[in-house]
Structure 1
Amino acid sequence: MPTPPARLLLLLGLVLGVLAAAVGLRIGSAPLAEPSPSPEPTSASPSPSPSAPPPLEGLHVVLDPGHNGGNGQAPAEINAQVEDGRGGWKACNTVGTSTLSGYPEHAFTWDVAQRTRELLEEDGATITLTRSGDDGVGPCIDERGRAVQRADADAMVSIHANGSEDPSVRGYFAIVAAPPLHDAQGGPSRRLAEDLLGALDDGDFTPSTWVPGALSERPDLATLNWARRPAVMLELAEMRNPEEAALVQSRDGRQRYADAIAAGLRAWAERRGG
């Protein structure tokens, strides 16, 4: 039997063991810390801003590439007489002019019109052409003029090149109907002409050396007389001038002309919208 001191030591050991077990139980039973939840954003993420509409959305333009590739093989059709819009009569159409090397006006106007259409459609505009290819006949000049109201378009640009016999003559010019038959042929057509001429000038083309101010007013062009919306005929170059003949026969030159027409229509649309 243990002696009293030994009993005391034994009792003390038992007490210490119980206390250690109690402390260990409390430490072991403590719950693990939960991971902190991700903080909620203090403000909503900004929504992506809606993309701006194309700059020419809602604009509708008729492009009229002058003449046609089949006109030369259809003399009876293109010489048939149509009303000129002022009580007179004109031939349905003509074959157009050409460079001295034989590059035809109809091919030039068709190519420039295609390039211009592509530029304007990229900006959201709707484009209507008065002919669907470069191997047909016509349409007649009165039909071309009426095309702008048939399409319910905002404006028409008739694309041409001139064929002065004097090869020293050079430069672009615009033609508007005068005297005007209605309001659209007055100020609105002149403003369209001004913006197109300004864009050609900005494109470093040469203004006409024989048409004062590069703006001609004529009463005898059925394409312009029949149009009931702002309408301009552009003579972009003199095809008998050697320098300008080289320009119209080059892809880069035709692209530059298209760039200028598109820029002029953008300027007109912006001014019209303001």
Structure 2
Amino acid sequence: MSRLNDEQADRCAALLLAHHRRPRIAVLLGSGWGSLAQRVMNPVTLPYTALPGFPAPAVAGHAGEVVLGRIGAHDVAVLSGRRHAYEGGDAAAMKGAVDALAAAGVELLIQTNAAGSLDEAMRPGELMLVADHLNLAQRSPLVGEVGASRFVDLRDAYDPALRAQVRAIAQREGTTLHEGIYAWVLGPQFETPAEIRMLQRLGAQAVGMSTVPETILARHAGLRVLAFSLITNMGCGLQAEALSHANTLGVAEAAAPRAVSLLEAAIASLEL
């Protein structure tokens, strides 16, 4: 079950808060970012299966648990894994989790993902801060919602003030951080060369199979959003070798220490 009513969301929030944590920041970890959970201080771990409305991820690299604790000065809830729309066709698969986080008092959702580059200047192993997105799948997690709140304004969906802070933190850390538009495609197949050329002409710098539904859900719930992409491959037709999930995970694993270090520094230093 991914959809919760208010009472269920409050009950799930109470489970998250039962360990005397009051997270203001939630971090949703995608492929390659999982080791951030090991950097949480004084951690308390809850499996998704113990939390109403949280999904059971079925993709390698997604642990399916929440780690509560501190990073720097902030109490955080680190979500190790998401359920993708391609796993069952439900764009609202993370709705229960996002609603519960909002009910628990979370103010900011930081998302991470693995993505393909559409820009020759942005190579595998590098990082991109998401500035905007293209919903190429044209699916919404708000289908079925009622009332005026479903008409969410997505101007500045990726918070400009927080992005400015992250750019300054990356510069201070000496980490190259690109910034660009993320195109969401449903997957799970990789894109064709023709699709990559189309995405380039539409103005996207990276492409992936996640993040956009959760951003829409977070904005609907009143949360601010940041998102980071770990570039694991060049888009189809921009590199000689064939694409595979195993290769993307391998690149993500090799680049993970640098990516997670920047993410940890950003969380520790953010001013909400």
* TM-score normalised according to structure 1 size: 0.45
Q: Look at both structures and tell me which one has the larger radius of gyration over its CA atoms.
A: 1
Q: Which has the higher helix share?
A: 1
Larger RCO: 1 or 2 (CA < 8 Å, sep 6+)? 2
* TM-score normalised according to structure 2 size: 0.45
